[in-house]
Amino acid sequence: MARLRQGLLAPLKWLLALLILFEEWGWEPLQRVVAAIGRWPGFRWIEGWVRRLPPYAALALFALPALALLPVKLAALWAIRQGHALLGVTVIVVAKLVGTAIVARLFTLTHDALMRLPWFAALYARWSAWKAGLLAWARATAAWQAAQDLKARVRAWLAAIRNSGAGQRRS
């Protein structure tokens, strides 16, 4: 029975791992983009204001992007249902990127305030441990190792192409 359960849960675990990896991949670079925008004159004041928010106000602001993007994602699903699959998927992907960028920046700005909420800090610690375990599981699989090997080969191949092209230009 346990093997059956593991077999049934494996695809779900992979899906969750891939979603988390997407978030991890995009979290820092997207946050840097929003941080660069935050250095613009008017936005510096806003970021300072966000950093000074009390814990529950920070929590409300942190939740706002998810709530704001929900109608956009629902409209994208409606577009898919109406036969506009490419449009719908594009809207979902763009909303995910924009949402991740904004949430990443807001989390950085509100982290200290959010961690002053004991229940939030406890949930965040549990989430972080669970996420680390899931990613460790994914990285230990043969599929992950094969993907890493393929990635290394492609990078080596691309580097060889770049190096051979650079040598030809110098001649």
Give ∠ CA 129-134-106 in degrees, rounded to 5.
60
Distance of CA 20 to the CA centre of its chain: 6
pTM of the model: 0.66
Q: Where does residue 31 rank: exposed (0-12), middle (13-18), buried (19+ CB within 10 A)?
A: buried
**pLDDT, tens digit, 9 for 90 and up, residues 64-73:** 888 888 899 8
The first and second tokens of residue 88, run together, are 């719908």
Q: Which of 10, 31, 5 is nearest to 110 (CA)?
A: 31
Distance of alpha carbon 16 from alpha carbon 159, whole angstroms: 32
Higher pLDDT, 10 or 48: 48
Query: Residue 166 — very low, low, confident or very high, per pLDDT cuts 50/70/90?
Result: low
Domain borders along the chain are: 12-132
Q: Please tell me which of 83-87, 141-145, 147-151 the model is most confident about, judged by mean pLDDT.
A: 83-87
